[in-house]
A and B are shown apart, each in its own frame.
Chain A
Amino acid sequence: MKANNKNIKEYQLKVKSRTENLSEIRKFIQKHAKEAGISANVIEDMILAGDEACTNVIKHAYKNQPEGEIVVKVQYSDKTFKITIVDHGFSFNPERIPIPDIRKSYEEKKVGGLGIYLMKKLMDEVKYISIPGKYNQVQLIKNLNSSI
């Protein structure tokens, strides 16, 4: 935990890549979003976006291997609330996953891509950086001036 300066606050959580830790990740995001004075509805959107991003890390980057490390960082100022999720698993490019079409998913019996679509719908910005063999980073950004 550290405060860079009086305007930006930053907190970090490290957990193993296990789905049982998703609730801890949600609580971590909720706690700091509350401190930032964000409204309950917006907090719920951010919690879900964070959950989806970490679920993808567990399933795709770590392929359900439970000893991987996930670092969740929140940073906020009066302008933005940023959730950054870093892992050291396999590189995956979510941009290549097409926007899901629920009817097509039904016909093709495929379930997937829903989480990424939700993240984009719920947040103002979703940014990916992937350095194969080193790390993947997802950044979920909410602009606060319009959403509080």
Chain B
Amino acid sequence: MGVSPSGRDRLVQLLTSDGVRREHPDFNYDGDLPSVAELYRQMVLVRRVDTEGFALQRHGELGLWPPSLGQEAVLVGGAAALGPTDFVYPTYREMLLGWLLGVSISDLLSVWRGSSHGGWDSHRHRFGPMSIVIGSHPLHATGHALGLAMRGQSDSAVIAYFGDGASSQGDVMEAIELAVLQQVPVVFFCQNNQFAISHPVARQSAVPIVQRADGFGLPGIQIDGNDVLACHAVTQAALKQAREGGGPTLIEAITYRMGPHTTSDDPTRYRDAAEVESWRARDPIDRVRAYLATEGWEPAFFDDVDREAEALGESVRAACLAIPEPDLAAWFDNVYAEQTGELRSQQAEYVAWRQQYGGVA
């Protein structure tokens, strides 16, 4: 099962929105039913964390939250498809994929609470810093993959996630071009959620984003981004091909941002409720539940997952409130690996000024 250009001929869907399995000539989900149930569980948990993040913003505990509601299949399918040493370059929309890889919820929330700019151990969790400047990080993925290739490290690949909005950025084009020319092990994964804040994808790209693969000379696969089985199968195949020296792949996952761009956004100004409703029928979680039910999966499982999700939601809130306050004095230590005298001097100046007013030394 290779990633060939033939995959571009039609959207890869392995599970319909009604929960019916479909065959595809090139891609196949090879997990068993318990594995599907685990994907379901993870999607429910991711959605619960996301919902809690949204609520925490509304309660004033977070400054901002970029929801991933409706896009859980990409995150969960992607995380499950990663090999043990594959590395992810995310945007904020894939934040909870990092949680699935072991980044603590506190480290993720602290960005939106105004307590840090990230700070997790990217190597340990195989999860790079979240790109906030749209489209800047696929280049880092290309460079990382070039490094793997130069070291002859054929057991690892890199995946860069970006949105339809980022597909307009020149850096994304340069990343793809450089990766194709060097045939390095990287997968470019575009989450087309239909909007760059308010700008619809039809006004961002004159052709389907996947079609750009032709011009760059790499395989392009369009998948149902709300189908976790397709997300898993295609991501896994593309990563495997990359590891085996087959070069990069462009995946375009067709999905929909059910929520606002961030908690500061008001999507009612630019899209119809009817359109949102039509996508609700294609929900990534409901279809897996329907499929599992059809297959006779134990009904109590769904209740157990819901209970686990509720407890998780409470723990997310507790973790948020327990995030330590940042210290501006310590911030000076984090600019250079080799601190400069100038910054040491400004740091001392700040600490002395703060002490004058009874602040912490």
A binds B: no
Chain B positions within 8 Å of A, measured between CB atoms, are none
A contacts, CB < 8 Å to B: none
